[in-house]
Structure 1
Amino acid sequence: RSNVAQARESLRLPAPGRPAAAVPAGVQSATPGVTPWLTPGKDFYRIDTALSVPEIRAEEWELRVHGLVEEEVRLTFQDLLDADLIESHVTLTCVSNPVGGNLAGNARWLGLPIREVLKRARPTAGADMVLSTSIDGFSASTPLEVLQDGRDAMLAIGMNGEPLPLEHGYPVRMVVPGLYGFVSATKWVVDLEVTRFADSKAYWTQRGWSERGPIKTMARVEVPKSFAVVKAGKVPIGGTAWAQTRGIPKVEVQIDGGDWTEAVLSEEASVDTWRQWSFAWDATPGSHYIKVRATDGTGEVQTEKRADPVPDGASGWQSVMVTVE
C-alpha cells in the first residue's frame, strides 16, 4: 500500500484539453456554517463495498471494453494520460442518502469522456446498458444512452487538481452526472461490458435495488441544525440543493406550515453541481419547524411524498425543529 501511495503522490496529472469552466463568485451560501461548495477530498463521503481499499499500480492498470461491440478496446493508464482529457465540476450523491443527509459531495474531476471510448468500441444494435466492474468485483449498471450523450461522464483520474485518493478509486473511477453512485460511480474500474439490462444484473440490482438510478431533486437545511437553540430576531437559515443535469432555479422555505417563501440562491456553477441558498428568518420565541423544497430546471417541484432509500433513492421534504429563546 505504501508503494502505491508513494506512486500516487509522485504522479503529475496532465493539463486538461478542456479545463473546467470558471466558478462564479458567490457560489457559497451567505449563511455561515453551510458546507463548503467544493468538497475537499478528505471530507468527501465514501460509500462502497470494499472491505479494504484496493491497491492498484497505475502502470499495471488496464480497462477492457467488450461485449456487444464491434471492436474490443483496451486502455492503459498511460493511454489516459496521453488522451484529450476534460475537467468538470460534478456533484455526486449516494442512493442511500436519507432526506437531509450528508452523503453528497462536489468536486472538480479530470478524466476521459466515456463516450469517446464507446465511439471506438462501437456498440451494436440492441445494447442498452454498460456493466462496469471494479477490481474487487463490485458492478454497476449504467444506461448506455447516458454514457453517449453530452453530459461529462468520464473515466476520472483526478479530483480537485490531484490524482484520485486511493479510497476514492485510484487510479481510475467512473463519474457520471445525474445518476446515483450505485449505478454509475464505479471505483477502481477495470471492465466495461456493453450489454442489455435484460441480460445482466449489477451488484445492488441483485440485492433489491433498482437497475437505473436517476438522482431525485433534493434540498436540505444545514443551518440551523435540528434541535438547535437560537436567539429571537433575525436567524440565518441556509443549505444546499441539487438536481444534477437539470439544475436548481428555485428553493423555498416554509416556517410552521405557513406560506412557502423563496430563499436567496447563491450563484450556479453548472446544472451538474449542487446549488446553495440562504434565508433570513424573523424568529419569535417558541418551538418552530423549518421545511425546505427545491424546484429543478424542468419546473418540477421536489415531491413531498416520503420514500425510503430502497430501491431508488429517498424523497420527501426535510423538517428541522428549532427552539427560539
Structure 2
Amino acid sequence: RRAVRLPAPATTAPAVPAGASLDVEGITPYVTPNSDFYRIDTALRVPSVDTADWKLRIHGAVDHEVELTWDDLLALPLEEHHATLSCVSNEVGGDLIGTALWLGYPIRKLLERAVPHASADMVLSRSIDGFTAGTPLDVLQDDGTAALLAVGMNGEPLPPEHGFPVRMVVPGLFGYVSATKWVTELEVTRFADAQGYWTPRGWSERGPVKLESRIDTPRTGATVDAGSTVAIAGVAWQPHTGVKGVQVRVGDGAWEEATLADSVSADTWRQWVYRWTPTKGSHRIQVRAVSADGEVQTSVERPPAPNGASGWHTVEVRAA
C-alpha cells in the first residue's frame, strides 16, 4: 500500500463549501478522518491483498463476463465523490456513520460492459474474506447514484481496514447490502436465487438508509449555564435523498427550526445548530429531521434489526 500512487481523478469532487462546517465545539466534523471512520468486519483479521494479485470478476446473468486487474482499474477515468456511509446496526444517536471523499470508478459503467440479463435484479458482491452483500441491480445501474468501485479515501489509498485495495461505496444503502470491502467478485443474479451474508441471519434483504438525526452537543448528563446561550448541535442525514430541515424540541415545547449548514450534495450528512437559552432545572432535548422530499423523521422507536433503528434522539441535560 505504501508504494501505491493513485492517479489524479478525471472528475474531481466539488470543494466542500465553507458553510458546511459550523463553528460549534463538540460537533462532528463534516468529513471524517480515516482514523476515526467506523469499522464493521466479519473477518477476525484484516485481509492483506497485494495489488499485483487483485482481480475483479463480473459474471453470472450477463452477456459478457468482465475481468479487471488493478492496473486496468487505475487506467480508467476515476471520479471523486463525497458520501456518507452508515451501518444498519447503528443505534439512534450512535456513531457507526462517517463521511469521506471517495475515489473510484462508477460500477454502472462496468455493468454496462457486462450487459446484465433482463431477469436479473441483484448483484452479489464477494470479498476476499468470504463476505457477501446483495445490492439491488437498479441502484448500481442508476445514473443518479454515485456507486463506486473505490480505491481512495480522503486523498490516500484505502486503509487496509477499510478495504484496500478496492471496495464498494453506494450512497443511500446501509453497508451490509452494499459496502463490500476487499471486493473481488460481482455476480449478477436475482434476490430469488441468492442471499448476502446478513440476510439468512435475520436482517432485511434490502437496506435503504433511513432518515435520521443526532445530537452531538450537549451530551446526556451535561450541565449547562442557565441564562446563557447554549448551542444544541449535531448532524442529520438521508444519503441520496438529502435533508432540508432539522427541528429541535425542549421538553414539551414546540418544535423549533434549527439552522442548517451547507453540504456538498444530498449524499452527505448536514450539520445543524439551534441556539437555546435554558432556565434552571432539568431539560429533555429531542431532534428530528425533514428530508428533501418532505418526509418527517418518525418518532416510532425500533431497534436496528432487521432494517435499521428509528426514533428521535433524546438527551437529558441540567441547567444550573
Letter of the aligned partner of 2:79 in structure 1? I
Counterpart of 1:297 (choices 286, 292, 305) is: 292
**Is 2:162 the partner of 1:168?**
yes
Structure 2: distance between partners of 1:25 and 1:151: 25
Q: Write out aligned runs for 1:37-116 (5 A).
A: 37-116=30-109
Taking only aligned residues, the RMSD between alpha carbons, in angstroms, comes to 0.6
Structure 2 counterpart of 1:250: 245
Counterpart of 1:185 (choices 179, 201, 204) is: 179
How many residues are paired up?
318
Structure 1: distance between partners of 2:3 and 2:319: 52
Secondary structure at the residue paired with 1:241? strand
Deviation track 1:169-208 (CA, whole Å, cap 9, x = no partner) reads 0000000000000000000001100000000011000101
Deviates more, 1:224-233 or 1:61-70: 224-233
- State the Cα distance separating 1:277 from its structure 2 match: 0.4
Alignment TM-score, normalising by the size of structure 1 = 0.97
- State the Cα distance separating 1:29 from its structure 2 match: 2.4
- State the Cα distance separating 1:95 from its structure 2 match: 0.3
Structure 1: distance between partners of 2:11 and 2:270: 23
- State the Cα distance separating 1:23 from its structure 2 match: 1.2
Deviation track 1:85-132 (CA, whole Å, cap 9, x = no partner) reads 110000001000000000000000000100010000000011000000
**Is 2:144 the partner of 1:136?**
no
Letter of the aligned partner of 1:324 in structure 2? A
Task: Tell whether the 8 Å contact from 1:30 to 1:277 is kept in structure 2 after alignment.
Answer: no
Q: Write out aligned runs for 1:198-217 (5 A).
A: 198-217=192-211
Structure 2: distance between partners of 1:303 and 1:146: 25
Q: Which runs of 4+ in 1 moved over 3 A?
A: none
Letter of the aligned partner of 2:194 in structure 1? S
Task: Tell whether the 8 Å contact from 1:29 to 1:238 is kept in structure 2 after alignment.
Answer: no
- State the Cα distance separating 1:30 from its structure 2 match: 3.1
Letter of the aligned partner of 2:203 in structure 1? W
Structure 1: distance between partners of 2:207 and 2:41: 16
- State the Cα distance separating 1:33 from its structure 2 match: 1.2
**Is 2:309 the partner of 1:324?**
no
Alignment TM-score, normalising by the size of structure 2 = 0.98
Counterpart of 1:230 (choices 224, 227, 237) is: 224
Secondary structure at the residue paired with 1:132? strand
Task: Tell whether the 8 Å contact from 1:111 to 1:154 is kept in structure 2 after alignment.
Answer: yes
Gap runs ≥5 in structure 1: 1-7
Task: Tell whether the 8 Å contact from 1:30 to 1:278 is kept in structure 2 after alignment.
Answer: no
Secondary structure at the residue paired with 1:60? coil
Deviation track 1:1-27 (CA, whole Å, cap 9, x = no partner) reads xxxxxxx11211101111011211111
Gap runs ≥5 in structure 2: none
**Is 2:230 the partner of 1:239?**
no
Structure 2: distance between partners of 1:151 and 1:22: 19
Structure 2 counterpart of 1:5: none
Secondary structure at the residue paired with 2:125? strand
